[in-house]
Amino acid sequence: MSSKRGLLFVISAPSGTGKTTLVERLVQILPNLRMSRSYTSRAIRAGEREGVDYHFISRTEFEAMIAANAFLEWADVFGNYYGTAAADVERMLTQGQDVVLVIDVQGARQVRQRGTDHTAVFVMPPTYPVLEKRLRGRSTDTEAALQRRLETARAEVSSYREYDYVVVNDDLEPTVVRLQEIIAAERSRVHRMTRVADAIVRTFFGDTPQQA
C-alpha cells in the first residue's frame, strides 16, 4: 500500500466523441491510472461483460444504492441510471492509484458540488458533423437513439467552461498524448510535490553528507 493518495480525474464528452477509446488507451499506457467501473441499470449489450464494462444492476438495486448514499455521483442518462460508487473510488485513491471517471456532464457537476479534489477534462469532437460520423461509424444505435445522443450533445458542448481543461479529439494518438500531459502537469503541481521538493531542499541544509 502506497502512502501517497492518488489523483482523481473526471472526463466528460458528448457521446461518440471518443472518450472511452481515449481512456482505454490511457490506462494501457499509464500503469498507475485506473478507470472506475460504473454501475448502470441499462441492459447489457452484445459483447459487454458484467464487472468489466459496468456493474449491471436493476433499477431497484440502483435506487437502493441511491438511498444508501453509496454514489459519489449518479445521473439518468438516456433513460438509464449510471453512477460511480464512492467506496470503490476511495479505495483506489487510498491505495495510491490515480482514478479516472468517464461520466456525463451532470455527474461531473455533482463531483464539483461535493468539493471532492479532482481535475476535470472536457473532450470535444472537432465538429458536429464529425461527431455524427463517429456515432454512425460505431453503429451501436437505432436512428432514434442516435438522434437523441446528438440532441444531448448539443446541450452538453456548451458546458465546457465548467471544466479545468479542454481537449479536442481530432487524431487519436496526439489526443492521448495531450491527456498524458495534463495528468503529468497535475502531478507536478506545487501542493502535490511538497514531500519530494522538501526532501531535496533538506539536502541543501546538511540532510545528506556533503559531496566532494
Encoded one letter per residue, x for contact with ligand 5GP by CB under 6 A and - for no contact, window 34-53 reads ----x---x-----------
Encoded one letter per residue, x for contact with ligand ADP by CB under 6 A and - for no contact, window 3-22 reads ----------x-xxxxxxx-
Encoded one letter per residue, x for contact with ligand ADP by CB under 6 A and - for no contact, window 56-95 reads ----------------------------------------
- In this structure, the chain runs to a length of 212
Give the CA angle between residues 194, 29, 115 to the nearest 5°: 45
Asked if residue 103 binds ligand 5GP (CB under 6 A), the reply is yes
The three grid cell numbers given for residue 102, joined into one nine-digit string: 468517464
106 binds, options ligand ADP, ligand 5GP, none, Cβ within 5 to 8 A by partner type: ligand 5GP
Selected binder of ligand 5GP within 21, 32, 95, 106 (CB under 6 A) = 106
Distance, CA of 212 to CA of 191 (rounded, Å): 33
Amino acid of residue 95: Q
Please say whether the beta carbons of 34 and 98 come within 8 A.
Answer: yes
Distance, CA of 65 to CA of 35 (rounded, Å): 20
82 binds, options ligand ADP, ligand 5GP, none, Cβ within 5 to 8 A by partner type: ligand 5GP
The helix/strand/coil state of 129 is helix
- Which is closer to ligand 5GP, CB of 140 or CB of 203? 140
Asked if residue 88 binds ligand 5GP (CB under 6 A), the reply is no
Tally helices (H) and strands (E) across the chain: 8, 9
Selected binder of ligand ADP within 129, 137, 206, 209 (CB under 6 A) = 137
How deeply is 160 buried, as exposed, middle or buried, from its count of CB atoms within 10 A (0-12, 13-18, 19+)? middle
